[in-house]
Structure 1
Amino acid sequence: MSFFSHQPWMLSTLSPVHLGTGLDYEFTSYLIDDGVMYCFGESALFDALSPIQLAQISDYADKGVAGLKSIHALLHTNREVLKLHASHLVAIGEGVEQFYSKRKAGTDKDFNQMLLPKTASEPFSGSPVLPGTALKGAIRTAWLDWKVHSKPQFALKNESRPLKILQQVTEFEKVDKDPFKTLRIADARAVNAQVHKKIVLFSSHDWIDAKKSKSARVGMVEAVAAGQVDAFEMDWRLWFNQDVKPPVEDLTQLATLVNRFYLPILQEELARNAQTGYYAESYASALSQLLHDHQLQQLMAQGQAMLLRLGRYSGAVSKTLNDHRKIKILGQKGAPNQIKSLPHEQRLVVSGEKNVSGSEPFGWVLLVEQGLTPAAVKMFAATLYDQDAQLQKLAEVAASQQHNREQYQLEQQQRLEREQAYAAEQAAKAEKLAAMSDNQQQMFGLQERMEKGESKGKGPSEKLWGDLRGLIQICDVWPAAERQQLLQLAKALVTHLGIDLKKNKKAKELVKQLEG
């Protein structure tokens, strides 16, 4: 017999969240221009570029980094056409466009930083998604920490692998007896199309030695934008059956254990920040006020809200257990592995290469039971940046892009119709010429030149008249019908060239020769 406890929760982002997928935006699949990143697939290159340009790309591809830079320069030159073929747009954070422009024009080492890691997204719509596996992993870490510290006699030694720790703590031997098999967490999906991603700059900050932070390498990464309230909906269920004992009695208890682990970590970060000043002052102040909100504190105490940290750049502190924060350094060339304490390092969102202050952390989210999100969360989000303005910009760019795409498609259709009409005209001409004799074909050529306006009104000194004279001189052996056609053409050419037969005796005699 089985039954379950079920709760729908809403998720808000308190800082940018990057959940790596192993996929990147290649340098040929995006352009950053005028405050927006335009993303497109390889098919867009074939649609937007000419055969000659595609051949250039093929040649550049075999020339190392220099060739790659040449490819990107070609794409940038044709950016207006490529924008029309963009599959989706992504907002960019402060300093990103300047960093991008500098890197694509910089050294080979700089250019290698153009690779841009993607965050987890829906495959077709491109909307951000927070995988249930990531949520479950973060929750498992918090539960493990509680479990370990609920047994003072328990010694982990130097073990850092979550599954091994879980096996020791719960004393289960097989994976199918893992108590977390009873916890089912669905992917947290965006509630609407307004939920968006953002390209941000990041660098590693040392909480002890600020000098190291100033020289840290900066990179770009895609993240779920911060300050999005009730942006994702998450469903989690705790199953109860006779085969596997669940990790907790109910979901409320599990939420309180999560807060027990993650809340002190965030509080400690804010305390350290008071000394280092890495975080933007407005951000640190707003986040501190949110954590002191009475309604939120009550919800967290009752297990109806929980603070969680997700993603690759959330820091090792959030992924390891209290009092057991060590990492394994693999030995080189047969040397034994080493167990070391965690470094005082954390990757933060920055606004520029030299701007250590004004940063934000990665990965903080707040989950609240559906319908219970405090007003303080919206107040916190309002202090981060003008999301409405950013969404408005994306909407305006998308509308302009759609208009330009429609105009481009119309022009392409009109060009295609012109080409088809010309091809049909040439085919009809070829068919008509095929049915003519050699004499008629020569007359057709003169007729066509006249219709195009050649030498109109310029008199008998022009080549058009000379070519007509040449035909008249050899037409004695032509059939009568063809001589009659040449006569009509000659009269038309006299009018076209503006020749007065009353004044020009030679021209008059030439035409009369056809009449005779």
Structure 2
Amino acid sequence: MSHGFSTWQLAITPLSPVHIGTGEDYEPTQYVIDGDGLYSFSPEAALRALPEAARADLLRILNGPPTVELLKQVQAFFHRQAERLIPEAEHVIPVLPTIAAEYAERVGKTAQRERERDIINQLRIMRTYGDAATRRPILPGSSLKGAIRTALLDRVNGGASLPPDIKRLPEHKRNVPLQKHLFGYDNFDQDPMRLVQLGDAADVRPSETLGTEIRYAVNRKRQPVTKDGREIAAQAENLRQVVECIPLLRPRAFQGQLSLQELGGLTGPKLPAPELRWTFEELAEACQAFYRPILERELQELGSRGYLDAGWRAAIRQILEAQEHAFSARRAFLLRVGFHSGAESVTLNGVRSIKINMGRDPQTGRTRYEDLPVTKTVWLAAQDIQQRRDLVPFGWVLVEAIPHDQAFADWPVGLTEQGVNEASDEANWRGGIETRRRELRERLDAERARDQAQREATERQVREEAERAARLATLSEQGRQLEGLRTRLEQDRRANLRQAGGELANRLVAVLKEAAESWPAEDCVALADLAEEIYGYIGWPTSKKKRERQAQIQALRQRS
């Protein structure tokens, strides 16, 4: 056998919602929820969106002491500014009505009071792994490879119990020694999984499709809890999380590549044992042997409890039946990845020991634990925290493979009607989001234009006032009085105000009298011209007073 690599193209279909943890969350200071959309924004986008007064308000809040109250105020601030932030959001994700309602009810408020301390509901949403630039989800190669590793470890173990020397170790220290025991290595060079190279699987769906969605993760009992012959909700069923996840049943949404290094007959202290150098077919067979029974058990067990969504269950059955030939040919296999995959999917048959909280001992008051081969609860994707029907499990994916120089055949399962409906729903949602953002953007643009015009008018007024003050400083007392009359005339014209007995007319009468007694000749002529302009605008007084005013004006002209 020649040395080198055998390379396989992978097409991966999420069969159920998938959440790959990142350790990061969407914080309510980084997003707002409006209608059926979560709008995520960066600090830079927030500053760009907020007017100066709002930025000053935020700075005032942030300058306060770092308390729970400050966090509530910041949350409430961004909630109030939602309509400004929505047009600047860099990423939008669909949210369920129940999640939107919970956000509106709790943002910026205290969720509960416990031991006289405010416990703030942070409204955090767990983010799934994705590309920072495109905001599209990614299935990390490390997650896929980890799931494959579990299946291969189980294959090698063959259902055997723990060896005595490992069984004597504390439970939390057994994992690495067990893997080294099964894979027969002491150092990284001998680890057979180093011959398996698996890159990240990228989302290859069109950019206009929904990359992720947000769901509740709820905890449900595998077996009923009864009291007085009636089933009751167990305390564990109050547990819930809000998670971003990859949508289910998106055929071949992700593509990746798997390479197997081929060593031929080479052996040595830095090479994995020859019997642990798997072909692709052996790898696929191990994954199918480990994960298919778990999926079948969930379909049966959760279905019998009435938890499962009937439409999803039927679609999974259809896909499994259509893929049977590929499963048999070892060109397709199941994997389970991400959060809430269940302890059974990440532990080995024969050595599985899951620490179960059995509640408090009524005699000692201490929490009791018991090691069991199966969990007593399961995490399921839900649309409401109280939901007990139409649920789906997390983490299931279908992996199809072909040699690198071939092309995938057509998707063997119809799902056409469902795909059309999903595309239509997604298009309608996205259309509504874009309409909302456009309307807000237009409204804010108009508001900014009004604010800009007002600022410019204010600046112009300030500038004109400064120029007028400077001009007045150079004028004589008579010149300042003339300027005052002109300014008042301009104000009345702008206000369309004509009052023959108003302030302008009264000030003019007083100035005419003063000018007749003491003004220089050149100022008298200017006042005469201005007086005729003023009376031409506001109207002359009654005939007798009109003759008096005209006589005053004529007398001023004769002084030149």
| Residue aligned with 1:375, SS | coil
The 1:465–1:119 alpha-carbon spacing in structure 2 relative to 1, beyond 3 Å, is same
Q: Highest Rg: 1 or 2?
A: 2
Q: TM-score, normalised by structure 1?
A: 0.87
Gaps of 5+ in 2: 113-118, 226-232, 358-365, 402-406
| Residue aligned with 1:222, SS | strand
The 1:208–1:491 alpha-carbon spacing in structure 2 relative to 1, beyond 3 Å, is same
**In the alignment, is the contact (CA less than 8 A) between 2:21 and 2:339 conserved in 1?**
yes
Choose the corresponding residue for 1:142, options 151, 156, 159: 151
Q: Which residue of 1 aligns with 2:488?
A: 449
Amino acid at match of 2:132: P
Q: Which residue of 1 aligns with 2:325?
A: 298
**In the alignment, is the contact (CA less than 8 A) between 2:125 and 2:243 conserved in 1?**
yes
**In the alignment, is the contact (CA less than 8 A) between 1:91 and 1:199 conserved in 2?**
yes
Aligned pairs for 1:316-327 (under 5 A) are 316-327=343-354
Amino acid at match of 1:76: H
Amino acid at match of 1:388: S
Aligned pairs for 1:97-496 (under 5 A) are 97-104=100-107, 107-109=110-112, 112-149=121-158, 157=167, 162-191=175-204, 192-193=206-207, 194-210=209-225, 211-212=233-234, 215-241=237-263, 243-245=270-272, 247-291=276-320, 293=321, 295-327=322-354, 340-341=371-372, 343-369=375-401, 371-372=408-409, 374-376=411-413, 378=415, 382=419, 386-402=422-438, 404-405=440-441, 408-409=444-445, 412-413=448-449, 415-416=451-452, 419-420=455-456, 423-424=459-460, 426-427=462-463, 430-431=466-467, 433-436=469-472, 437-438=474-475, 439=477, 440-453=479-492, 456=496, 458-475=498-515, 480-496=521-537
Amino acid at match of 1:316: A
**In the alignment, is the contact (CA less than 8 A) between 2:161 and 2:351 conserved in 1?**
no
**In the alignment, is the contact (CA less than 8 A) between 1:84 and 1:405 conserved in 2?**
yes
Query: Matches of 2:122 and 2:14 in 1, distance apart?
Result: 27
**In the alignment, is the contact (CA less than 8 A) between 1:204 and 1:213 conserved in 2?**
no
Query: Matches of 2:240 and 2:79 in 1, distance apart?
Result: 23
Q: Which residue of 2 aligns with 1:85?
A: 88
Query: Matches of 1:511 and 1:216 in 2, distance apart?
Result: 93
Query: Matches of 2:549 and 2:555 in 1, distance apart?
Result: 10
Q: TM-score, normalised by structure 2?
A: 0.80
Amino acid at match of 1:427: R
Query: Matches of 1:325 and 1:507 in 2, distance apart?
Result: 112
**In the alignment, is the contact (CA less than 8 A) between 2:14 and 2:250 conserved in 1?**
yes
Q: Which residue of 2 aligns with 1:508?
A: 550
The 1:98–1:169 alpha-carbon spacing in structure 2 relative to 1, beyond 3 Å, is same
Once the two structures are TM-superposed, the CA of residue 95 in structure 1 deviates from its matched residue by 3.0
- What's the C-alpha RMSD, in Å, of the aligned pairs? 3.4
Aligned residues: 508
**In the alignment, is the contact (CA less than 8 A) between 1:130 and 1:189 conserved in 2?**
yes
The 1:379–1:42 alpha-carbon spacing in structure 2 relative to 1, beyond 3 Å, is same
Once the two structures are TM-superposed, the CA of residue 36 in structure 1 deviates from its matched residue by 1.3
Gaps of 5+ in 1: none
| Residue aligned with 2:185, SS | coil
Once the two structures are TM-superposed, the CA of residue 481 in structure 1 deviates from its matched residue by 4.0
Deviates more, 1:371-380 or 1:114-123: 371-380
| Residue aligned with 1:321, SS | coil
